[in-house]
Structure 1
Amino acid sequence: MPPSATTEPHSRAALPLAPSLDPALAAARMPRQFRPLSGRVAWIAALAMGLGALVALVARLLTALIGLVTNLAFHGRWSTAFGSPMGHHLGAWVILVPVAGGLVVGAMARWGSRAIRGHGIPEAMEQVLLNESRIPARMTWLKPLSSAIAIGTGGPFGAEGPIIATGGALGSLLGQCLRVTADERKTLLAAGAAAGMAAVFSAPISSVLLALELLLFERRARSLIPVALAAAVGTGVRYVLEGSAPMFPMPAMPTPGLLALAVYMAMGLVTGVASVGITKLTYAIEDAFETLPVHWMWWPALGGLVVGLVGYAMPSTLGVGYTNIAAVLGGQLGLGAMVALCLLKLLSWSVALGSGTSGGTLAPLFTIGGAFGGVMGAACVAWAPWLHVDAHAAALVCMAAIFAGASRAFLTSVVFAFETTQQPQGLLPLLAACAMAYLVSGLLMRHTIMTEKIARRGVRVPADHVVDHLERISVGEACSQPAVTLDASRRLAEVRAWLAAGGVQTHHQGFPVIGEDGRLLGVVTRRDLLGQAPGEAMLGSLVTRTPLVVREDHSLREAADHMVEADVGRLVVVGGEHAGQVVGMLTRGDLLAAHTGRLRGEREATRSLRTRRA
């Protein structure tokens, strides 16, 4: 240690320490430097593109299967045309069709896999968070088959839910068959899910955003690029098979004025409250099923009974309901029809989902939200034309806002509504309304419709995607300086005497050891120095492992990862005027102390808010 670095008075028996030389660090272990991309990303991206094409074809097969079951169950004909149960001639017997579908799904869940129950995304989230994105292989056929039966027999769900779940399962299976890391497997899972959604709705950008907001829990180039390419390929295959027309065509929207924009924001707020109520209602119904004195295998059939009764009263509530969304956005339904569709679809869907059948949430929420907004828009047009609210726009913004509030997939909701309608004038009111719904949901509800189920099982789901605080701080800013280095040729008795003398230098728990040639040999701890070794032993004999070093310009995240991988509690910091100069030590305590600034800012913000309220 340089004389300038010591403040020991001459009356203290200060031990002469090794000078800060430029030691050879050939044997030292450095942390891995962060790289935004590597050659592996190109390989994963290629796999994701192939997966995207496969999932798009699977999506086409699944919609054909849903069409086949629908035509057989309601129309008695052999056809794979993707149609609606409406127009059937079953009369009151239609009530029993969803019951029969529920019986089959319940049996598949009991003797196949319970994981087919529900809408799929929470289960995928759970596998990402707890099981390194490993979805059982049987889910690649059990989930789509059970969903096709549930939807084809009148279940009030969209085809996108099971396709997203199936795409994710295929991506996970591919990752399990190849030699990839857990993060790469997660990327493939998200790529398959995004490709599935893109293939159904022709909405590649919102599909990528859905994967980012609900599955990846990160936004890094290594995951974003493969997911984006998978969604692009999935959409391209859909263009070839079904064309590029918007999923939900609607009349051109006018540019909203300031007053109309304020109304759309208010609608987003009201819809956000409604989304909270719908989420709580759904899980309250699920809790009610838990209290029934019958095995859960029979619950989908009981839920199917409600679906059948509602479908008998209003046939348009049966099945996927994409035509309902198009009718609401296109202004083809009157006020009474939209009120009935909103309430009865909510009843049918919430009971069916709460019963544990195999279904989804996107299309039902879009139908309910669109009808809800259509009612408010029609009321504004009829009773307050001076607001200049467009009824079609009101339906569109509430369709997106209800999903933003229920799932908090904010960006997904905004972009999805734009992509599926191709209405650029709708982006501004969509942004405002979805932001309001997101705000209300965050204030009134801790968990979302996607996370409540797994949160009840003790799974912690990240709510925000934030920059790693440790990534923003360099080692040089946080390490303890100056370094207290020891000469390897010193006898242990001398070092112990120096420690016993005390002083500002001796509070350290670890000391770099420098050899005669200036080489950094390693680190000894206070425990090593005060252990059982004889006093005549040379200090260098206590060094037993390769030195672990970190440069001043490394980030604290890189240093922390280096500590974890090496299972140590401190690192030697090198830098200064020479690349190998020992300048300090970095400990676990330094890593914790680095959070002080962040926590201080949060405390000051909270204190300021409380002062204003007082």
Structure 2
Amino acid sequence: MDQARKEKLRNITFLGFSVVIGILAASGAILFRTLIELFQNLFWASGTTFLEKLIHSPWWLKLLVPTAVGMFAGPLITFLAPEIKGTGIPEVIFSVAARESTIRHRVTLLKSVITSLLIGGGASVGREGPIAQIGASVGSSMAQLFKLGPEMRRAYLAAGAAAGIAATFNAPMAGTLFAVEIILLDIEIVYLSHIVISAVTGSVLSRLFWGEFPAFNVPVFHPSHPWELPIYLLLGCLAGFAAIGFVRMITFADAAFQRIPIPDWAKPALGGLLLGCLALKLPEVMGVGYDSINATLDGTLGLKMAFILLAAKMAATSLCIGSGMSGGIFAPSLVLGATLGTTVSLALSGFFPGLGLSPSNYALAGMGALVAGSTLAPITAIMTIFEITYNYRVMLPLMAACISSTLIVKYFLGYSAYEMKLLKQGVNIVRGHDVGILRSLRTREFMDRKFESLKDATPIMKVIERFMQSSYPHFVVLNEQDALVGMLSPRDLKSTLDKLEELKDIVVAADLMTTRVISLSAEDNLEKALYLFEDHKVSLLPVTDPGAPRHVLGVLKKDKLLQAYRERVLKDRILSIPAR
């Protein structure tokens, strides 16, 4: 069999693998939602909707249940899998950026059980982010199981996330765009087919299980007048500022809980107690919030209630995420956008009754706009709402609201909710294919294991002799225990050359070397190395053992990094040419 036929057979096999990933990820989403319903029925009184269950439950249960599930989940999150804390999407992005798309296998099970328990117990978080993380974990685990390379592992991680989102909303396009726009830092077109196939498979499986279900009770979208477009632009701008407030409030709550002098494992219980206190007055803040969205779309939510729920839901979700619970912000963003759109339309109608604005229309546009602002993924937000409505008339108002919201957030904040969490951890995610190439390459693969070194007690005359003999005059300085203590370059010798006769018997390498050494770990990627080279204007960096930071394994030269980059770009271009 020739090489071209082997490559085509390999591609067909990988596409079949995409179907399997879609089935497994969608099954995880179905199991996750089933667990949520199970816990809701177990913890709360009877009712046809979750809000009815809460209303029919006694007041003490609203305090006890979220506190108890927080107390149970806290130790599991803290000690078994800290990466399932919070929305889950920043951890998936980080695994793509810095861990070669590797996610631990245990994440799938623990994320499913713990987050479903919290949401079932009333936590004001979303299920979409956890479902995406579960799907991503499935894709990554399957790729690891079959020992696929980093590129395919990344593609299947994204495919799993796409399948999970597609199964949740019955929206394959939204699932695909979610994976591409939010999770992946760059995308090779050749891998897009894998993501699409998994998303379609996930959506088909969800339809087989739940039927042709709509995610919400969506009315027919009928814009009243063409001149309403400026109002949708205004709504988008307000949604942008609301998204900034939402992100800031989550960050503030996280910092506030960090300052509370109790163990981390107990903080979700405190968050649950505070949520319960808020729910005593406003039970709508508990849970995913789809009942509140349906109320805005049905036109049954009044102006005062919409405004109160907007502020209360923002506070409730911030308490849950900030305290360390596991859950997403996608659904809360939809609730905030729906209540904001309702508030804007009803307020304007109160001042200008002749406008004839439809609250449900503005609720839909607000949902997309706030998701676009909080995630900085406007195309995903637009396609999510479009696939919910399947009405092309929604597109123009939706685009106006989503793009204006995104621009406001980019200008005044600059980061999405997911990127803000990573930035707080010292991880600055830069998107783009060129950066992605460096990010996928490890220092250990390109360092020189043979390097020039000196002992710190080496006399200056011996140092000069070594410099004269070396073709690359940068020396790693080691002590008697062979631990890194400094670096020595020609510029360090300049101040001694005019007094060489006086100093030749006195000065040693330790007196001349630079002690503030900038180094790399063998596990660091070449993106970090490039930043260090540019920031510190050096041409060589020592590479140390991750487990022993002063044990030098080799050195990385800047020209070696640039050579590796050029070779990888050339390789990618060659591999992107289809076989004939």
TM-score of the superposition, structure 2-length normalised? 0.72
Aligned partner (choices 244, 253, 265) of residue 276 of structure 1: 244
Q: 1:41–1:222: 8 Å Cα contact kept in structure 2?
A: no
Task: Report SS of the residue matched to 1:389.
Answer: coil
1:204 Cα shift?
A: 0.9
Does residue 408 (structure 1) correspond to residue 354 (structure 2)? The answer is no
Does residue 45 (structure 1) correspond to residue 15 (structure 2)? The answer is yes
1:256 Cα shift?
A: 5.4
Task: Report SS of the residue matched to 2:54.
Answer: coil
1:468 Cα shift?
A: 10
Q: Deviations over 1:77-103 (max 9, x none)?
A: 9xxx98454243322332121011111
Q: 1:162–1:360: 8 Å Cα contact kept in structure 2?
A: yes
Does residue 199 (structure 1) correspond to residue 167 (structure 2)? The answer is yes
1:357 Cα shift?
A: 0.5
Q: Deviations over 1:548-585 (max 9, x none)?
A: xxxxxxxxxxxxxxxxxxx9999xxxxxxxxxxxxxxx
Does residue 343 (structure 1) correspond to residue 311 (structure 2)? The answer is yes
1:464 Cα shift?
A: 5.7
Count residues in correspondence. 445
Q: Deviations over 1:453-484 (max 9, x none)?
A: 11222323124679999xxxxxxxxxxxxxxx
Q: Look up the equivalent residue of 2:14 and give its one-letter code.
A: I
Aligned partner (choices 361, 381, 389) of residue 349 of structure 2: 381
Task: Report SS of the residue matched to 1:75.
Answer: coil
Which residue matches 2:26?
56
Q: C-alpha distance in 1, partners of 2:223/2:366?
A: 17
Does residue 114 (structure 1) correspond to residue 77 (structure 2)? The answer is no
Q: How does 1:59-74 map to 2 (within 5 A)?
A: 59-74=29-44
1:388 Cα shift?
A: 4.7
Q: How does 1:430-445 map to 2 (within 5 A)?
A: 430-445=398-413
Distance 1:466 1:292, change over 3 A: same
Q: How does 1:96-495 map to 2 (within 5 A)?
A: 96-255=64-223, 257-463=225-431
Q: C-alpha distance in 2, partners of 1:385/1:465?
A: 51
Distance 1:440 1:39, change over 3 A: farther
Task: Report SS of the residue matched to 2:427.
Answer: coil
Distance 1:467 1:120, change over 3 A: closer
TM-score of the superposition, structure 1-length normalised? 0.68
Q: C-alpha distance in 2, partners of 1:263/1:384?
A: 13
Q: Look up the equivalent residue of 2:289 and give its one-letter code.
A: G
Task: List runs of 5+ in structure 1 lacking aligned partners.
Answer: 1-36, 470-566, 571-586, 592-614
Q: C-alpha distance in 1, partners of 2:125/2:385?
A: 18
Which residue matches 1:606?
none
1:149 Cα shift?
A: 1.1
1:424 Cα shift?
A: 2.1
Q: C-alpha distance in 2, partners of 1:315/1:299?
A: 22
Q: Look up the equivalent residue of 1:62 and give its one-letter code.
A: F
Q: C-alpha distance in 2, partners of 1:389/1:219?
A: 41
The root-mean-square deviation of aligned C-alpha atoms, in Å, is 3.0
Structure with greater helix percent: 2
Bigger CA radius of gyration: 1
1:277 Cα shift?
A: 1.4
Q: C-alpha distance in 2, partners of 1:405/1:191?
A: 24
Task: Report SS of the residue matched to 2:417.
Answer: coil
Q: Which has the higher contact order (CA 8 A, sep 6+)?
A: 1
Q: 2:186–2:432: 8 Å Cα contact kept in structure 1?
A: no
Q: C-alpha distance in 2, partners of 1:40/1:111?
A: 41
1:109 Cα shift?
A: 1.2
Q: Look up the equivalent residue of 2:340 and give its one-letter code.
A: F
Q: 1:63–1:82: 8 Å Cα contact kept in structure 2?
A: no
1:69 Cα shift?
A: 1.0
Q: Look up the equivalent residue of 1:375 and give its one-letter code.
A: T
1:53 Cα shift?
A: 1.4
Q: Look up the equivalent residue of 2:391 and give its one-letter code.
A: Q
Q: Look up the equivalent residue of 1:309 and give its one-letter code.
A: C
Distance 1:438 1:464, change over 3 A: farther
Q: 1:381–1:390: 8 Å Cα contact kept in structure 2?
A: no
Q: Look up the equivalent residue of 1:226 and give its one-letter code.
A: H
Distance 1:284 1:41, change over 3 A: farther
1:337 Cα shift?
A: 2.0
1:159 Cα shift?
A: 2.3
Q: 1:208–1:228: 8 Å Cα contact kept in structure 2?
A: yes
Q: C-alpha distance in 2, partners of 1:342/1:38?
A: 53
Task: List runs of 5+ in structure 2 lacking aligned partners.
Answer: 1-6, 438-555, 567-580
1:114 Cα shift?
A: 1.0
Q: C-alpha distance in 2, partners of 1:94/1:124?
A: 32
Which residue matches 2:509?
none
Q: C-alpha distance in 2, partners of 1:316/1:239?
A: 28
Q: Look up the equivalent residue of 1:358 and give its one-letter code.
A: S
Q: Look up the equivalent residue of 1:458 and give its one-letter code.
A: G
Q: 2:125–2:320: 8 Å Cα contact kept in structure 1?
A: no
Q: Deviations over 1:417-451 (max 9, x none)?
A: 11122232111111011110111111011321011
Q: 1:329–1:395: 8 Å Cα contact kept in structure 2?
A: yes
Q: Look up the equivalent residue of 1:132 and give its one-letter code.
A: E
Q: Look up the equivalent residue of 1:69 and give its one-letter code.
A: F
Q: Look up the equivalent residue of 1:321 and give its one-letter code.
A: G
Q: C-alpha distance in 1, partners of 2:435/2:256?
A: 41
Distance 1:467 1:393, change over 3 A: farther
Q: 2:186–2:436: 8 Å Cα contact kept in structure 1?
A: no
Distance 1:569 1:450, change over 3 A: closer
1:76 Cα shift?
A: 8.1
Q: C-alpha distance in 1, partners of 2:398/2:434?
A: 24
